[in-house]
Amino acid sequence: MGQGMGRQRGVWSRLMKSSSSEAWAFLFLAMTAALAVGCAGGDDGSSAGGVFSNSASTNPNMRFGVLWDDMLVDSGRVKSGQSLSHLLDPAGIDAGRIATLAANSRQTWDVRNMKAGQRWWLASKAVRDSAEAEPKVVPRWFIYERNPKDYALFSLADTLGVRLDSYPVDTVYARAQGVLENSLYADFENIGHPNTLAVALASVYAWTIDFVRVQEGDSYDVIYRMEMVNGAPAGMPVVLSTVFTHWNRPIEAYRFEHPDIEGYFDIEGESLQKVFLKAPVEFSRISSRYNAKRFHPVLKKVKGHFGTDYAAPAGTPIMAVGDGVVTKSSYTSGNGKYVKIRHNSTYETQYLHMSKRAVKKGQRVKQGDTIGYVGQTGLATGPHVCFRFWKNGKQIDHLREEFPPSDPIDADLQQAFAREVVRLEDLKRSLQPNAQPVKPDGLR
């Protein structure tokens, strides 16, 4: 790894400190400072203006778009098999009110879309019927986090309903630079970047680099943007420009977005996208190459292997390497569960030994669609996909084949693309490699 990179570890972990258990504990304490009145009305959380207050309020006690005050907050994650009823019933909300809440919410968001593992909060208010009476806990708000950016806010007061909203999002820019020592996942983590950047980078080069074959000594210089929510990365990074040097050959890519075209292009405006992906699975390894004289490990005899084996964990998604029509989705004792796709009058591909098929005969698929999952059905000694490729009816070694690229940027967009390349190069110069990500107003 480049000099000084070890000192840069934890760039993103420093940003993510607010998502630690201590930080969330603090957040929950802050939350308990304010949920009593969701609007300007009384304790029932209603007002003439509706159930919900203005989510754009600058009140520092606002959380999830409502005012949190003197609240008792419970929280957790949805468990497998749990529904809204399972979460609200222990709080004393009867089945009739839960059913009404679900019905009132259906047009905005169907509560049946809740997923295991997602976070939730239940905020309640301690109220007294009289000065002498014992306080009772009355649920006021239920919040379900739909994803790292978005949540559903349910009113549990007299007016039952739901509103969909989003957390404030910060966009930051960063630069990852280094020499490959382990895997992209590990290397990005080691120099303080999110490991999801490895997936984003592999998607950029899916047509030009087989990441199964990257090796120690390959290098990268990647500019990307990332959305942050509550100090933590949210969603996938977006690669803006990159140079990946593979086998001493630098391969550059610039992201270009226009109403008429979007994708990654080299400095000349040639598209990186090609007719076929380099591999049907991401971040696997080649366990056996195309070999007409291979000794078969199960049959114990020389039998031509007219495909490429990609070893990967069982259940790994298998992708269609190109657009086409499924001509076979079947099973044989040798192939196991397999899928065959006709891409055009010239090319066909086949994917063997699946644990499960995800497409049917006659179905149209797009490049990158999941068509099945890695397994070891049929004559297989371990989980892998045997990938076979036909050209004009003859099986070939796809790793030796040169496929044509997609259309380049049109002549009338070349100037716009050239300006974007200059902008991205300026952005690169403004970012220190493996340093703290910066917001747009922090760029030089």
* Average pLDDT, integer, range 193-211: 89
Q: What are the structure tokens assigned to 366, written together?
A: 């797009």
What are the φ/ψ torsions at residue 21 (nearest 5 degrees)? -60, -35
DSSP output for 401-441: ----B-----GGGHHHHHHHHHHHHHHHHHS-TT---B-GG
Q: Which residues contact 178 (CB under 8 A, 6 or more apart)?
A: 1, 2, 5, 187, 191, 219, 220, 433, 434
Strand order in the sheet with 249-258: 170-179, 219-229, 232-246, 249-258, 261-265
**Among 121, 115, 114, which Cα is nearest to 27's?**
121
* Average pLDDT, integer, range 306-327: 92
Given a contact cutoff of 8 angstroms between Cβ atoms, the answer to whether 30 and 63 are in contact is: yes
CA-angle at 394, arms to 389 and 395, nearest 5°: 35
pLDDT for 160-176, tens place per residue? 999 999 999 999 999 99
What's the farthest any 2 CA atoms get from each other in the chain? 91
Given a contact cutoff of 8 angstroms between Cβ atoms, the answer to whether 111 and 160 are in contact is: no
- pLDDT score, position 291: 55
- Rounded to whole angstroms, the Cα distance separating 19 from 218 reads 33
Q: What are the structure tokens assigned to 413, written together?
A: 């967009």
- pLDDT score, position 80: 94
Q: Is the pTM of this model over 0.85?
A: no
Q: CA quadruple 434, 439, 440, 444: dihedral positive or negative?
A: negative
* Average pLDDT, integer, range 117-123: 94
Where b means 16+ CB within 10 Å and e means fewer, 156-187 reads bbebbbbbeeebeebebbbbbbbebeeebeeb
DSSP output for 27-50: HHHHHTTSBS-SSSS-TTS--TT-
* Average pLDDT, integer, range 185-191: 91
Residue whose pair of structure tokens reads 């050209």 in the numeric block: 391
What whole-number percentage of the chain has pLDDT above 90?
54
**Among 268, 262, 214, which Cα is nearest to 239's?**
262
Q: What are the structure tokens assigned to 358, written together?
A: 């995800």
- pLDDT score, position 407: 78
Q: How confident is the model at residue 102 (pLDDT cuts 50, 70, 90)?
A: very high
Mean confidence (pLDDT) of the chain: 82
- Rounded to whole angstroms, the Cα distance separating 353 from 338 reads 6
- pLDDT score, position 67: 66
- Rounded to whole angstroms, the Cα distance separating 355 from 407 reads 36
Q: How confident is the model at residue 287 (pLDDT cuts 50, 70, 90)?
A: low
pLDDT for 333-365, tens place per residue? 999 999 999 998 889 999 999 999 999 999 999
Q: Is 129 left (phi over 0), alpha (psi -120 to 50) or beta?
A: alpha
Q: Please state the separation of Cα 366 from the chain's center in Å.
A: 19
Q: Which domains does the chain have, with CATH numbers?
A: 32-166 (3.10.450.350), 169-274+408-444 (3.10.450.350), 285-400 (2.70.70.10)
- pLDDT score, position 293: 53
* Average pLDDT, integer, range 111-123: 94
- pLDDT score, position 286: 76
* Of 91-100, 287-296, 391-400, 412-421, minimum mean pLDDT range: 287-296
pLDDT for 242-258, tens place per residue? 999 998 999 999 999 98
- pLDDT score, position 370: 97
Burial of 362 (0-12, 13-18, 19+ CB in 10 A): exposed
**Among 223, 177, 241, which Cα is nearest to 434's?**
177
- Between the two ends of the chain, the Cα-to-Cα distance in Å is 27
- pLDDT score, position 306: 75
DSSP output for 357-416: E---TT-EE-TT-EEEEEB--SS-SSSEEEEEEEETTEEE-GGG----B-----GGGHHH
- Give the side-chain half-sphere CA count within 13 A for 44: 8
